[in-house]
Structure 1
Amino acid sequence: MSQAEAVPRRPRPLWSLGLLRSEITMTFRRWRTLALLAVLAGVPVLVGIAVKIETGDGGAGGGGAGGPAFISQVSNNGLFLVFASLAVTLPFFLPMSIGVIAGDSIAGEAHGGTLRYLLVAPAGRSRLLLVKFATAMTFCLVGTLVVALFALVTGALLFPLGEITLLSGTTVSFAEGLLRALAIAGAVALSLTGVAAVGLFISTLTSSGISAMATTVGLLITVQILDTIPQLDAIQPYLFPHYWLSFADLLRDPVYWDQLQKNFGLQALYAAVFGAAAWARFTTRDITA
Structure 2
Amino acid sequence: MSRAEAAPGRARPFALLASELATLFRRRRTIAMLGALALVPVLIAVAVRVTSAGSSGRGPAFIGDITQNGLFVAFTALTVSIPLFLPLTVGVVAGDTIAGEASLGTLRYLLIAPAGRIRLLLVKYVAAGVFAIAATLVIVLAGVIIGALLFPIRPVTLLSGDVIDAGGFVVRALLLVGYVSLSLLGLTAIGLFISTLTTVPVGAMAATIVLAAASQIADALPQLSAVHPWLFSHYWLGFGDLLRDPISWNAYGQTALLQLGYVVVFGALAYGRFSTKDILS
What band does the TM-score fall into relative to the shorter chain?
A: over 0.9
Contact 1:144 1:189 in 2 (8 A): yes
SS in 2 for 1:255: coil
Contact 1:125 1:283 in 2 (8 A): yes
Q: 2:55 aligns with which of 55, 60, 64?
A: 60
Q: Kindly provide the amino acid, as one letter, of the partner of residue 16 in structure 1.
A: P
Q: 2:68 aligns with which of 59, 65, 76?
A: 76
> Which aligned runs of 4 or more in structure 1 are off by greater than 4 angstroms?
4-15
Structure 1 pair 79/9, CA: closer, same or farther in 2 (3 Å)?
closer
TM-score, normalised by the number of residues in structure 2 = 0.94
Instruction: Map 1:1-289 to 2 at 5 A.
Output: 16-55=13-52, 60-62=55-57, 68-289=60-281
Q: Kindly provide the amino acid, as one letter, of the partner of residue 176 in structure 2.
A: I
The gaps in structure 1 that reach 5 residues or longer are none
Q: Kindly provide the amino acid, as one letter, of the partner of residue 285 in structure 1.
A: K
Structure 1 pair 5/209, CA: closer, same or farther in 2 (3 Å)?
closer
Contact 1:98 1:196 in 2 (8 A): yes
Structure 1 pair 15/281, CA: closer, same or farther in 2 (3 Å)?
farther
Shift of 1:182: 1.5
- Partners of 2:213 and 2:27 in 1: CA distance: 25
Give the CA RMSD over aligned residues.
Answer: 2.2
Structure 1 pair 47/15, CA: closer, same or farther in 2 (3 Å)?
farther
SS in 2 for 1:127: helix
Shift of 1:51: 1.3
SS in 1 for 2:114: coil
TM-score, normalised by the number of residues in structure 1 = 0.92
Structure 1 pair 256/164, CA: closer, same or farther in 2 (3 Å)?
same
- Partners of 2:11 and 2:231 in 1: CA distance: 31
Contact 1:79 1:152 in 2 (8 A): yes
- Partners of 2:194 and 2:74 in 1: CA distance: 32
Shift of 1:126: 0.5
- Partners of 2:19 and 2:10 in 1: CA distance: 16
- Partners of 1:61 and 1:12 in 2: CA distance: 60
Shift of 1:139: 0.2
- Partners of 2:219 and 2:27 in 1: CA distance: 33
Contact 2:61 2:79 in 1 (8 A): no
- Identical-pair percentage: 50
Structure 1 pair 15/188, CA: closer, same or farther in 2 (3 Å)?
farther
Larger Rg: 1
Q: Kindly provide the amino acid, as one letter, of the partner of residue 276 in structure 2.
A: T
